[in-house]
Every structure is written in C-alpha cells, then in structure tokens.
Chain A
Amino acid sequence: MRYSGLKVITEGLFGNKGWGPAWRSPEPKAEYDAIIIGGGGHGLSTAYYLAKNHGLTNIAVLEKGYLGSGNIGRNTTIVRANYFLPGNSEFYSHSLKLWEGLEGELNYNVMHSQRGLINLFHSDGQRDAFVRRGNMMISQGDDAILLDRDGVREHLPYLDFEQTRFPIYGGLLHPRGGTARHDAVAWGYARGADRRGVDLIQNCEVTGIDIENGRVRGVQTTRGAIRAKKVGIIVAGRSGQVAAMAGMRLPVESHILQAFVSEGLKPVIHHVISFGMGHFYISQSDKGGLVFGGDLDFYASYAARGNLPMVEHVMEAGMTLMPMIGRAKVLRSWGGIMDMTPDGSPIIDKTHIDGLFIDCGWNYGGFKAVPASGWCMAHLMATGESHAVARRFRLDRFATGHLLDEEGTGSQHNLH
C-alpha cells in the first residue's frame, strides 16, 4: 500500500478500514541467502539496501525484541555531516544526502527537519578548530557558515551572552543539519524492506553462530536453527555478546549515555545547539519537548540508566548556556547502551570468518549514520568489498594504527 495525502483523505471518509499492517510477521524459513542479526536502524537499513541496491531479497532480519526497540527508538535524533577527518567526512556526507531523499525513497514521513545546527565556541583556539572543521565540510561539498558573536545572537538571542565563565565567541552553523523522527526511520526502512520480500522476524533471539571450517553456516535462535552463508552482526551495544558467539573479542566497550526530555512547550528553540564547554546539546521536538543530553557517564554499563552526577552536570550546563529553560520540567530520561570503540569511530568490515560481517562501534553517533551504514554494509555483504566511503572503518585499524580519532583525544576505551 502506497501512502499519500489522497489515501489519508479517502480513509478518513470511509472509516479508516483500509489500512493494513506496515509489514508481515513471517515464520522463519530454514535457510536464507543472508541473515541480519539486529532489527534496529542499521540492521533494517542494511536489509533494505541489500534488497533495493543488490537484488538480494531472500534475507531475514532477526530481532530479539520488537523492531526498533534499541537505540533507534531512544536517541536525540540529530542528523548532521560536520565531520573533519578523511574517512568520516565522506561517509557522513553520503549519509546526509541519503537523508535528504529518504522520505521519497521510503514513501514514509520520517519528519526530517533541516533546521540548522550550531556548534558554539568559547575561545580563540576553539574558533580556529571550528574554522578548520568548516573548511573541511565545505571542501567535502557540505555547508558551513562561521558566525561571530553577533551572528549567533541573531539566531539564538536567548543564550546567556553575559556570563563570563564560558563567553560565547561565535558558532559554526551547519544549515543542512537538523533532526528526524527516530522511530519513523526504523519503521520506514522496515516497511520498505518487507515490501521487497525481506522477512522481518521479531522475538527471535540469536543464541549461537554456526561456523564450520572457518565459514559461517547459519545461526541458532530461540525459534530454531536458520542456515545462511552470509551473516551480518548489527547489534550496537550488544556487539560484544554476539561477537563472542563467533569466538571474537571486539575493540568495543559498551558505555552509558543519558538523555532527557522536558514537558511539551511552545516553539522556543528552532535549531540544534551544541555547547562544547559544558558538553551539552539541545533541540526541540515537533511535539514541543526539549530534547537534550551531554556526555557519557564514563564507565562500562548495560544498565540502560545512568547515575545522578551526569544528570546534575547536564542540567548545570544547560542552565549556564540558556537560563530560560530553568522553569521547564524534565519529563523523562533514559540511558542508551553505546558501543564505544577506542578512537570513537565505527566499524563496517568483514571478520576473519568467511561470510561473517560486522557493523558496530557507532559510539554515541549512530542515528545520523543509519542510511549510509545500511548502504555500505549492504555493499560489503553483497560484493565482499568495502564501499568507497566506508573503507576506513576497518576492524583491524587499532592493530595497524590507522585510527580515526575525530576528537583527537587518543585511542583508549575511556576517552571517547
């Protein structure tokens, strides 16, 4: 069924009886050409592009809970292409271009809103770093505008320009940056994959990976064994456990990242704003809630909830930057399980086991990468070769020293 304005009106006139489920709930078959472990954003987009770009439709996505029940359903929904390093820059640029055509592509309203993203800076050194970053973004073909203090004031008059601890020197505006509706991205890709014949199998937890003579043969699940010659592990925070089923240890440590949503307010914050000095970022959802967060709690955790010191820190940073939000009530908070790599960049690569691929290490930035990650992982699984824009996301780069340390803080598990 194709969604359209006309369809909405017709259904409204005739009692909304013509809507069907957005995807099937098939029983798992005994064998597929390829299996994707993980029905989150990256897994679903991989399945979609395997079917769409490579004609592989005899594939299954295995999800232990319900589709989109992980980080794709709990994140701060920021979409941007403001990366600096070769390797990251072209990848996120590709992703943003896919975002810009996504709603037409999927025939699904993902509410992609290019409202502009402003990274503030608070010192000469930080300004110089953002000038360099902006130049890299422009040379990649994306957009960046350097704002001085008055330029920031024009966009964001409500910031505290008087405070002296972290004076606002200016900001880097990325006009094509913005937000999207997170769940809708998962649902749109799920529906698109299903329509091309992909089996989306929920409540099906993978409990083992079958390997014979260095080749993958299939997986064991809570709904029986399923054979496949190609298996992709795309399980974000749970990468360590699933890789262990194949006898692998990954350069990944799962950490906790908290985020918060206020009660719904009238439109007050138009942009996505980041405040590097306090590690605070904020935007306002279309429902009106202020969506904001900060840094990791900085210890390995699967608790899906954080500790109070980081809550306090995020609130303090927000109040330092924009005291006007002080009267807003926090409605809810949550903690996501982040698959952190030592250098803070992701992995899309083969493993040493034939037919077994892995897409992980998205740290705290996986949402904006959903389209390109699926695009590149599908390319890798279908052709056996890394896609040109993801060729540096190597699994062995920590051993070989070809790091992608975007922050420049070092390659160590507790630094990103």
Chain B
Amino acid sequence: MRITCPLCGERDRREFYYYGADDYLRRPGEGAAPAAWDAYLHLRDNPAGVTRDLWYHDMGCAAWLLVERNTVTHEVLSVRLASEAEEGAA
C-alpha cells in the first residue's frame, strides 16, 4: 500500500502511522453525554468497503491526513490534509 501525501507525494506505507476511523474528527462538545464520548472513542461503523480514516505522516512532513480508501482492496481513493477537512462534517 502506498499513500500519496498532499505535501510530500507518493510514499511507502511504512512512513505513515494509522490512527483510526474519521470518527476522531467529530469530537463531542463540552458537556456532551457519556454515550457520545463512548461513540466517539470506541464504537465504529467498521465498513467492508470505502472508509475514511486518519493517518499521520510520521516519517515525512508530520501532517495529519484524511485518507479515503477501500478496506477490501487496499485501494487508496483520495488523500487530503485533515486540517482542511471541516471539523464535524468530515
């Protein structure tokens, strides 16, 4: 698997650290119910197919990336900077 970093270009999977599903972009607000935190931290759609998850370009530019990819084929469909993804709407 190779991932094309928007800043560094196409790089080997080894340069990247996988964090998890893009649920992490939808952080509950202050005072949210415990169930909302459980959903944010633990519960996952876990799709077989297209998914969006966060990767960190550990051995490159240190950017957080929002990667759209297929979990069945390992095809990477798109990569953009997580900072450009609208928080809550990603």
Binding site for B on A (CB under 8 A): 238-241, 244, 249-254, 298-303, 307, 309, 342, 398-399, 411-414
- CB neighbours of A414 from chain B (8 A): 18-20
Query: 7 closest pairs, A vs B, by CB?
Result: A240-B46, A251-B42, A249-B43, A399-B38, A398-B42, A299-B18, A302-B48
A303 and B72 in contact, given A249-B39, A398-B38, A399-B35 (Cβ under 8 angstroms): yes
Report the Cα distance A298→B35, complex, angstroms. 27
A298 and B13 CA atoms in complex are apart in Å by 11
A252-B46 contact given A300-B51, A303-B71, A414-B20, CB 8 Å threshold: yes
Interface of B is mostly: mixed
- Residues from chain B with a CB closer than 8 A to the CB of A412 are 20, 41
Which residues of chain B are within 8 angstroms of A300 by Cβ–Cβ distance?
A: 18, 20-21, 46, 51, 53, 71
Q: A302-B72, A307-B13, A399-B34 are in contact. Are A249 and B48 (CB under 8 A)?
A: no
Total contacts A-B at CB 8 Å = 74
With contacts A300-B71, A302-B72, A303-B73 taken as known, whether A251 is within 8 angstroms of B18 at the C-beta atoms is no
Set of chain A residues within 8 Å of B71, measured between Cβ atoms: 254, 300-303
Q: Bound complex: CA of A414 vs CA of B58, how far in Å?
A: 15
A301 contacts B74, C-beta separation under 8 Å: yes
Shortest CB-to-CB span from A315 to chain B, Å, is: 15
B31 to chain A, nearest CB (A): 17
Smallest Cβ-Cβ distance to A342: which chain B residue: B42
A239-B46, A299-B18, A414-B18 known; 20 other A-B pairs, CB under 8 Å?
A240-B44, A240-B45, A240-B48, A249-B39, A249-B44, A254-B48, A298-B18, A300-B21, A300-B51, A300-B53, A302-B48, A303-B71, A303-B72, A303-B74, A342-B42, A398-B38, A399-B35, A399-B42, A411-B41, A414-B20
